[in-house]
Structure formats: structure tokens, C-alpha cells
A = this chain, B = another copy of it.
Amino acid sequence: MSKEGEKLRQARDEFVAQWGALGTQWGINRTMAQIHALLMTAPQALTTDDVMEELEISRGNAHSNLKELVAWGLVRPVVKKGERRDFFEAEKDVWQIFTIVARERKRREIEPALAILSKCAEDSRSIRTPEGVAFHEQMRALEDFVGFASKMSDRISSMKHGFALQMASKLFG
């Protein structure tokens, strides 16, 4: 019993630590990734104090990262009857996680890029020098591609998991 419990704790700690390290590679901060890992593998919803204790971080830190995770939609607050404190639980379904992350990255990375490209393409539309034309063409090419990627992302995110998988299997056998 204790042995199995120990083994699980070890595996889970490993996961939390490594997922945190990985988070820094992706543009998100270590603590946020750690909290996410912790909640994804928690049997029940946890309080802010649980998170603070488990990761040995301050209240402010736990609070702001939990808030951020809720803003992403990767974590939701849950109310427990007879409890005044807030509890938090993570979305555990991988397809849900994927679509949330895809949507958020689209909003934060793709859409701003598209706005810039559209503006630069527009601003250079009327320039007739060879350099100007080349610049305009480059902006348009990028704009087209990013716009296309944006649309693809939407379509895939709005699919049901089973359907997306089935489609992919058909394509790639």
C-alpha cells in the first residue's frame, strides 16, 4: 500500500516538475504549467492552499496563476456545499485541452499577426517601385497563409474528437 502510494507520488511529482520545465519552452511560465499538471492529475478539486503547499509557492503566485488558468479555460472553479473556499479542477479530456489551447493560441498569436500583415499589405498596395511591389507581394503571401491557417484551426477545433481522428486516419492511413 504505502509502497504503491509512494510510487504514485513519485511519478506524479516527476510529471509536475517536468511539465513545468516544458512550459517554459512553450511561452507559458513554469508555475502555471506546474499547477496545470497538478490539477490534471488530482483525484479531486484542490484549494489555493493545497496548491501553495504542494508546490511550495506563495499565495499571490498561486492565486494569479490559477486565475490565468481559469482565463484560458483550462481550469474551472467549483463550489463545494458547506465550503467557503474556492476549489479548482482542470479539464482532463485531451481533445478539450487541445481545442482550448488551439483557440487561445489562435487568439493570441495568429490574429495579431494577421492584423499586422493586413495593415502592411494595405499600406504598400499602391507603391510602384520594384522593391515596393516585392514587399507587398511578400505581405500578401504571408497574410494569405496565416489567414488560411486561422481558418483551418477553427474548423479542426470545432470538430468532435472522434470525427477528427477518423478523418485523420482516412487521410494518413
List residues of A whose CB falls within 8 A of some B CB.
1, 4-5, 7-8, 10-12, 14-15, 18-19, 22, 25-27, 40-41, 43, 92, 94-95, 98, 108-109, 112-113, 116, 119-120, 123-124, 127-132, 134-135, 138-139, 141-142, 144-145, 148-149, 151-152, 155, 165, 167-168, 171-172
Integer count of this chain's copies in the complex: 2
A37 to chain B, nearest CB (A): 10
What are 16 residue pairs bridging A and B, where the CB atoms are less than 8 Å apart in the complex? A4-B132, A7-B123, A8-B129, A8-B135, A11-B127, A12-B120, A14-B119, A22-B112, A25-B27, A27-B27, A43-B131, A98-B145, A98-B149, A148-B165, A155-B171, A155-B172
